[in-house]
Amino acid sequence: MNTYKLLLLLSFLLTLGSCDPVHSIKLENKTKDKIDLFYNHSGDIEITSPLEIKTVEIKGEKWNKLTLDSNQYIYIGQIIANYTPEPTDLTIEKLIVVFGSDTIYLRGKNAIYSTLYRADKLDWRLTIKK
């Protein structure tokens, strides 16, 4: 009986130790206006509210387009807790952000990765603001 309890306890502890929490990388709109996002992706992005995703063609290339209102966000990648993200953690390959008369074009995961910052201990973001 004691051996069974010991094995059960060890199994439980191993299960807890192998479960690193996963956190999402956020792209957020902190402007006072709507912004348009055009993106190509290699994986799923997580939409946090009901947003309409359209497919548009720009210079012969298909892009997804969505509009974020002020203070809305989407998740563009995932990272295991306590690790610094890498470009491969992102699900977006290319990103165009249009707000007002300004446009940001980030081509490739390394370019998008270079805009991330650590907002909190386990919170990595790309923030669009004026």
Rounded Cα distance, 86 and 51, in Å: 27
pLDDT exceeds 80 at position 48: no
Kindly state the helix (H) or strand (E) to which residue 81 belongs, with its residue range. none
The one-letter amino acid code at 130 reads: K
Q: State both tokens at 105.
A: 């074009």
Both tokens of residue 21?
């929490």
Residue 41 confidence (pLDDT): 82
Output the CA angle 86-89-91, nearest 5 degrees.
135
Better-predicted residue by pLDDT, 17 or 28: 28
Predicted confidence at residue 121, as pLDDT, reads: 79
Percent of the chain with pLDDT over 70: 79
Question: What's the whole-number average pLDDT of the chain?
Answer: 85
